[in-house]
Amino acid sequence: MTLTGSGSAHDPPAGAAPRRPAAPSPAAEHGPPRRLDRRVALVTGASSGIGAATARRFAMDGWQLLLNGRDRHRLEQTASGTSAVVLPADLAAPDGPRLLAQSALHTTGRVDVLVAGAGIGWAGPFAAMPHTDIDRVLALDLNATLHLVREVLPSMIAAGRGRVVLLGSIAGRVGVREEAVYSAAKAALAAFAEALRQELRGTGVGVTFVVACPVDTAFSARRGRPYDRPHSRKISPGCVAGAVWEAVREDRDQVYVPAWLALPDRLRTLAPRVFGHLLNRFG
């Protein structure tokens, strides 16, 4: 099985060491911070899929964008026609989140919204999952996200405003067979979002958690095998991007895409036996 990343570069050849793009240098690349009247959004995983669609949606409303991913060329394609600044970096690298946050804040002086969209997946039986792949999924989907939020958050608190948007998955709410580690990482993000939201009450900084069903991107096709669940239709990246945009505009704490996806979550609490039966059947 193979790993795939949202907003990641093309996978290296089998047996080759993965590319580790250098983290952005704040002082060298961008000069003094820009004085901006426009709101600033930092979007990770922005070279494709949900991240790229979200970046384009924010650009439509005139936001200043900071785009992160591992592939500079694809980031530049996302940025085409906008004033977005590309900040290529590997968030799974030890100092990746810290250096990205420093570069973002040096470039624009602030981050009003962080959309944490970078992530990778792995599909297959957990007993067959290599230990290195367990570490890689947790490193990017969970650890890197938490560290990036930790680096950006103090500036938001100091400004008395801001919003952190975390991209979750229905896999993290109900658990999906043969996606155990991915499900675990997304479930942890859900708990993190809820705990952080309570901690930030009264600071002016909000936390939005987005729960989405499978999305029609290369993410699922490159996670080890194509998405093949007949009972679940994939939605477009634009649907998720629109939901993220509306959630930020309306200061919403949680959003399901599509909206009916909230039903399995509620069913688990209200009718756990029925929920268990359905989960066993549809997985």
What are the residue ranges spanned by the domains of the chain? 40-282
**pLDDT attached to residue 229:** 53
Q: Please say if the pLDDT value at position 104 is more than 60.
A: yes
**In angstroms, rounded to a whole number, what is the distance separating the alpha carbons of residues 170 and 85?**
31
Span 4-15, average pLDDT: 41
Span 52-57, average pLDDT: 95
Better pLDDT: 87 or 10: 87
Better pLDDT: 4 or 176: 176
In the CATH scheme, what is the code of domain 40-282?
A: 3.40.50.720
**In angstroms, rounded to a whole number, what is the distance separating the alpha carbons of residues 201 and 196?**
9
- Packed helices 180-199 and 145-159: angle between N→C axes, nearest 10 degrees: 20
Given a contact cutoff of 8 angstroms between Cβ atoms, the answer to whether 36 and 104 are in contact is: no
Active site members: 182
Average pLDDT, the chain: 82
**pLDDT attached to residue 38:** 85
User: Per DSSP, which regions of the chain are E strands?
Assistant: 4-6, 40-44, 64-68, 85-86, 113-116, 119-121, 162-167, 205-212, 254-257
Minimal CA–CA distance to 8: which of 102, 141, 179, 124?
Answer: 141
Burial of 30 (0-12, 13-18, 19+ CB in 10 A): middle
Residues in the chain: 283
Confidence tier at 173 by pLDDT (50, 70, 90): confident
**pLDDT attached to residue 170:** 84
Span 164-183, average pLDDT: 90
Q: Please say if the pLDDT value at position 61 is more than 80.
A: yes
pTM higher than 0.85, yes or no?
Answer: no
Given a contact cutoff of 8 angstroms between Cβ atoms, the answer to whether 96 and 67 are in contact is: no
